[in-house]
Structure 1
Amino acid sequence: MQKVFLRFWCIVVVICLTWQSCGVKYSFTGGSIPENMKTVNVQFFENIAPLVYTPLSQNFTEALKERIRSQSRLSQVDGDAHAMFEGMITGYDIAPVAVEANTDRAAMNRLTITVRVKYTNQLDETGESSFEQSFSQFREFSGMIQSQEETITKEIINLLTEDIYNKAFANW
């Protein structure tokens, strides 16, 4: 048993040393950020969706900043940065997904938020790691949205920022 345990740790050490020798830093949070990337700028994401939830722009922008702050070593700056995030909230839609029997009321609804993101890696001269893409996530709920809107939007924002972070820094 001790030999298996020792062999396991030897493999882990070899893998870590191999990763250290590459020009990219890997972390156990899923990020692979180039070593020479030091700064990031996250612009305000304006809400241009036809249906507007007032705090959404601020909440989304701050959540994306917080995700980057908590899962990377990048310093957030205003102005020019090695990595730039900009975009807008393009969709905030509520649609019925199940109807109650013998009525025309929705038993279950779906809130979908769509965000258009432009990520620019200023250090990548080829532009291959930069992207412009829409991200969507949803949550289903029953009852009236007003009593649950804050909680549901936070859940969706968490999923969106995870997708965006992974696309930018984990090459997913």
Structure 2
Amino acid sequence: MKKHIFYILLILSFQSCGFYSFTGVNTTAETYQVNFFQNNAPIIEPGLDRDFTLALQDLILNQTNLDLVKTGGDLVYEGEIVEYRISPMSATAEQTAAQNRLSIGVMVRYFNTDDPEKDFERRFSFFYDFPATTQVQAIKEEAYQVIFERITQDIVNATLADW
């Protein structure tokens, strides 16, 4: 009998927490929408826009129990890729680049239909350093994975985590 009471109290305590998940997401929203992130950076890398849009959709889908919809989402993410840049980071004794940095920046507009006070427009960016002797095409897949993982997690933290 005590065991049953314990389980009932445990269930009730989780229900009283409201819409909280163990990933830190705290929202009453049920759906989200990620509009296509157009690549408006000075350097256009083919497929970057599609890959980023899918990475953001997948991260939210995997870390929350929100449903992805094409239109009419409770939470709406939209924006554009505004930076794609490769720049030298460190030099050798011969004054040539020893290391390069790939930087990607994304402007995000976030709309919360349940709580418009949480709406914002903000820039998120991250980078990946690689040896200057390596071509970008050789590291592109790994670099995108590292950069997208960081940027998309920053976006989710800014929009869904009440920390």
TM-score (norm 1): 0.82
Residue aligned with 1:27, SS: coil
Once the two structures are TM-superposed, the CA of residue 154 in structure 1 deviates from its matched residue by 1.6
Contact 2:24–2:162 (CA under 8 A) maintained in structure 1: no
Letter matched to residue 128 of structure 2: R
Residue of structure 2 equivalent to 1:31:
25
Residue of structure 2 equivalent to 1:139:
128
Residue of structure 2 equivalent to 1:60:
52
Among 140, 144, 167, the alignment partner of 2:158 is 167
Identity %: 39
Alignment of 1:117 with 2:117, yes or no, is no
User: Against the structure 1 CA distance between its residues 62 and 55, is the aligned structure 2 distance closer, same or farther, given a 3 Å change threshold?
Assistant: same
- C-alpha distance in structure 1 between counterparts of 2:121 and 2:112, whole Å: 12
Aligned residues: 153
Letter matched to residue 27 of structure 2: I
Once the two structures are TM-superposed, the CA of residue 89 in structure 1 deviates from its matched residue by 0.3
Structure 1, unaligned runs of 5 or more: 1-9
- C-alpha distance in structure 2 between counterparts of 1:92 and 1:20, whole Å: 45
Once the two structures are TM-superposed, the CA of residue 108 in structure 1 deviates from its matched residue by 0.6
Once the two structures are TM-superposed, the CA of residue 22 in structure 1 deviates from its matched residue by 4.0
Residue of structure 1 equivalent to 2:85:
93
Letter matched to residue 78 of structure 2: E
CA RMSD of aligned residues (A): 1.9
- C-alpha distance in structure 1 between counterparts of 2:63 and 2:101, whole Å: 29
TM-score (norm 2): 0.86
Structure 2, unaligned runs of 5 or more: 1-5
